[in-house]
Each structure stands twice: as structure tokens, then as C-alpha cells.
Homo-oligomer: A and B are copies of this chain.
Amino acid sequence: MTARPTAHELIAKHRPTLDQALEAIRTRAYWSPHPEHPKAYGEHGSLDAGAGKAAFDALLGTRLDLDQPGTDDWVGDEVSPYGIELGVSYPHADLDVLLPAMRAGQAAWRDAGPETRAAVCLEILKRISDRTHEFAHAVMHTSGQAFMMAFQAGGPHAQDRGLEAVAYAYAEQTRTPETAEWSKPQGKRNPLTLTKSFTPVPRGIALMIGCNTFPTWNGYPGLFASLATGNAVLVKPHPRAVLPLALTVQVAREVLAEAGFDPNLVALAAERAGEGIAKTLATRPEIRIIDYTGSTAFGDWLEANARQAQVYTEKAGVNTVIVQSTDDYQGMLANLAFSLSLYSGQMCTTPQNLLIPREGISTNEGHKSFDEVTGDLARAVDGLLGDDARANALLGAIVNPDVKARLEAAADLGEVALASREIPNPDFPDAVVRTPVIVKLDAAKPDDEAAYLGECFGPVSFAVAVDSVTDAVDLLRRTIREQGAMTVGAHTIDPEVARAVEEVCLEEPAQLSLNLTGGVYVNQTAAFSDFHGSGGNPAANAALTDGAYVANRFRVVEVRKEA
């Protein structure tokens, strides 16, 4: 058993990590305290592969009792994209009991101050990190990610993003000192003197609405940013991806209680099938902050209707890669093939539209026509996914029937450059595993516009022929402005083209990766260094993580009196 840690002990334990995180967000050099390799776990209290798998298996078919006030029912019907029924049930909340209970502990959490809150958050993340193998299975069997991706993106990378949010929250709250002595000269008279105190105070209860595909990675920034700034946090998971966030809530409640705080500062709001609890929650007056990842329609609804709250949304977008020229044709093809294949394109950062001049591109292997480029890319994807084991490890499973339906419909949108095919999964015969489809479209054909100027979430890419690179840049601008984009890529050895693409990304604003041909992909970002989204185009109104993401989750109250 862990002895109950005092705030002082938690600060002593975690302050070095916090300081490293603060330095990393300042330099934006590479840093992570969370190992990516599965074999790095198993010592110092962390679960190794076998123990993590056993812990996950032990959860199946159980009731996850979080000991929450106002639990009026037990709900949950998750079915893994790999075919397993999880059979885990979760507390369903009577909001009129749960929400007041969540507020009860806020004054003590506020009074604890930014450093103690950060230390408690880091202890939560440490305990989650120790259970990374267990979480990996939970993420895999809710998102459909392949195991290694679920392990890395759902484990250390998500924990990194959570820690990054804690670091920003701590930095932001400590920009103003706790106290100040103010003395204003008055010529020959005595100065005016005041003693002032400054206290960061929470806005209220924060609501974090989780998504299906990246429950922890997309959920942790908002959860930890709100908690670290003194707010209670209600976690509303996607009904298909409850387990990873329910475990997160469990750990948070355990750590809060051990540290002497009210565990109800973090709670779960699971829902019955079809209940649609998010709208009810989002407009409750107690909810003052909302973090949401999901559809544009509901994100827009939140922004318009949850007017009592600060609303941070990540919505749909259309990601573009302009392909104009390269001095590493094979590297470019391999890099793009990987980007299109990873997690079956079910990332908000996966490229969708590849804009390629119809007269072709210049490469280190000579001129390549539009058809050669698309054919070579199709072969690169085929080569990457030729081995079924490797294909399964890269693709994961299709997360839900909507994605499968979109994939199947995509082949009718234009000439198919690469057909999608089924990959059998020997371990999970019910898993729906599909390779990406690449469809040729033409920017000169008005009928094609509806396809490439809308998000087609899933393993669907469009190779769009454009008349010129100028047209490509114009289409990029229009796409970002109208549809939003989480990522932009470009392959060009022409500095003027690079400059034109960069200018669009600066003006619209969007995050740009140029000429990636190695082991970094446009759809991946690293916490502490890369921003996820710009917060300046329709795909997301916030970036992970910057000052703006944390600064308005709390307010500073000043009390002044004569010295």
C-alpha cells in the first residue's frame, strides 16, 4: 500500500519533472519522461506486459465502481473494434447530486495553490504511466488502434500531452506573484502603500467530452489543464471509448483522496445508449469550461449554446499535402504511404487531399507524371502493407461502421488509384481491417469539389490534379479557410513554392510540415515541441498546448489592503 503522501512529499517527488517540462516548453527541444518502449515497464512499481494484460483482462465483465455520489444506475455496452464485448459497466450519475458534490472540494483545491495542484496532477500521471500496459489494451479495444500505437499514443504520448498542459497551467498561474508590496511615492508626503495578495481561482466545473479514436491523447490536455488550474473536472467519455477514461478517473480520484483532497474533484459521466447526455451537461450552469473533440456539427453547437462556458473544440478539418517536387522521391512516397496507412487514416491529422500538378512533378528520379506519382504512391502503400502482420500492426481496426461506410462509398467518387482491401486479423477474426483507398479527382471538374472540400474521415485520400502549383496554393488557402486543417504538408525543392505555402499557413493559420521523407510523419506531433492544431482555422479553436489554452481556465482575484 502507498502511504498517504503529503503535498510537500508530492512536490519534492515531482518538482524536478515539472521543472524539466517547463524548460521543454520554453526551448521546445525533444523531451519526454514517459518511455515509448513496452519493455521499459515492469520495474519501480509499473506493470510489465503480462501484468498489464492480466489487469485489463480482469476488468472485462466487471462493474467499475468509482464510489461516486449520486450514482443512480450502471451503464456501458462497449464492443471493441476487434470484436470483444468489454462488458464493463460504469456509474450513471444523477447530476443534481453529483455536480454539487464536485463543488464541495473546490475551495480546498483552490487554496492548495498551483504547485501542489501540479504535483498532484503529476502523481496522477505517474500512476497512469505505471499502468501504461493496462491502458494500452483499454485504448486498443475502444479505439481500434493496433496495440503498439495504442500503447504509445494512448500511453506515453497522451501522458506527455497531459504533463505539458500541467506545465503550462503552472507557468500561467505563477506569472503573478502570491503577494506584492506596493508603494507609490507622493513627493514630500508619505508614500501610499498597499499589501496585495493574488489568488488563482477556478472558473467552476470543467466538462471534458472524450472522443472515440484518441480517448486519452485528446482528453488529457483539457482534463489536466482544468484540474491544474483549480477546477473540478467531469469526464464525459464517448460511449464507445469509456474504459480508458474511466480508469483515468479512477486513478485521479485515488490520488486526490490520498493527498487529502476531495476525490469528487474528478468524476465520470457515463451515459446510457442514445442518452445524448453531452447537451444536457454542456448547458448546466455549473459547467464553466468545456473541452471537446469530435464532429464539427456538435462543436459548433457547443460554441453557440454553451454560452456560460469557455469552450475549447477540435472539430473536422481537411488536411492537404501539396506535392510539387522532391529530391528524394522514394523517401517522399514512403513517408506519404505511412501517413495514409497509420491507424487506417483515422487521425484528425491524416492527410486527405494530395494536390499534384496535372503535368507532373520533378524529382531526383526525373519527371513524374500525375499518373506516375499516384501509381507509385499506390505501390508504396501496397508495399508497406503487403505483409498481413505488418499491415495489422499499422492499420489497426476500423473504429465504427460510419468509417467503413465512407470507405466503401469513396470508390465511387472518382477513378481509384489504389483500391482498399480487407486484411484478415488472425488474433481477432471479427476486426474490420482495411487498407486505404486513393481516389483520383480533378480540381478543374466542378463535380469533384464536393468530395475533396469536405472531411472524409477514415482511410480515404484524394489525389487531386491541379493546373499549376499556384492553383494548388490557392486551393490550399481556400481549404484551410473554409474547412479548417489540423495539418498541412508540402513537398517542394523550389524555395518560392515553399515560401508561398508557408505564407498561406501563416495567414490562415495552419501547422506546416515541409519535405518529410524520413521517420517523422505529418500526422504526428510531439508534446513540449509541436503544436497540435493552430487554433486559428475552423478545424480547432485551440492549440495543444499554448498559453491561450490554459490562461482563461482560471481568474486571478486580488485582495488589497493598506500596509
Contact = CB atoms under 8 A, between A and B. Distances in A.
Interface stretch (A57-65, A141-149, A377-385, A505-513): A505-513
B557 A510 contact: yes
Contact of A29 (B176, B183, B551, B557): B183
Given A182-B529, A534-B555, A194 B520 contact: yes
Given A29-B183, A512-B559, A548-B552, 12 more contacts: A29-B180, A110-B506, A182-B526, A192-B518, A303-B307, A304-B307, A509-B555, A512-B560, A513-B561, A515-B561, A516-B561, A535-B555
A201 B512 CA distance: 14
Contacts of A181: 29
Given A107-B503, A107-B507, A507-B201, A531 B556 contact: yes
Contacts of A560: 512-514, 520, 530
A280 interface: no
A78 interface: no
Interface string A163-194: 00000000110011100111111100000101
A516 B193 CA distance: 11
A520 B194 CA distance: 9
Q: How large is the interface on A (under 10, 10 to 19, 20 to 34, 35 or more residues)?
A: 35 or more
In the complex this chain forms, how many copies of it are found? 2
A29 B185 CA distance: 12
A562 interface: yes
A515 B559 CA distance: 11
A30 B184 contact: yes
A505 B192 CA distance: 24
Interface in A288-324: 303-304, 307
A276 interface: no
A547 interface: yes
A429 interface: no
Q: Which of A186, A192, A519, A547 has the most CB of B within 10 A?
A: A547
A502 interface: yes
A502 B560 CA distance: 11
Given A307-B304, A519-B186, A536-B201, A512 B557 contact: yes
A286 to B, nearest CB: 12
Interface of A: 25-30, 107, 110, 171-172, 175-177, 180-186, 192, 194, 196, 198-199, 201, 203, 303-304, 307, 502-503, 505-507, 509-520, 526, 529-531, 534-536, 543, 546-548, 551-552, 555-562
Contact of A529 (B172, B196, B535, B546): B196
A515 B152 CA distance: 56
18 contacts: A27-B180, A30-B184, A110-B506, A172-B547, A194-B520, A505-B559, A511-B557, A512-B559, A513-B561, A514-B560, A514-B561, A515-B561, A534-B556, A547-B547, A548-B548, A551-B551, A551-B552, A552-B552
Contacts of A558: 511-512, 530-531
Given A517-B562, A530-B558, A182 B29 contact: yes
Contacts of A514: 559-561
A515 B514 CA distance: 60
Given A182-B29, A307-B303, A562 B531 contact: no
Contacts of A509: 201, 555, 557
A500 to B, nearest CB: 12
Contacts of A551: 546-548, 551-552
Nearest to A529: B182
B27 A562 contact: no
A107 B199 CA distance: 39
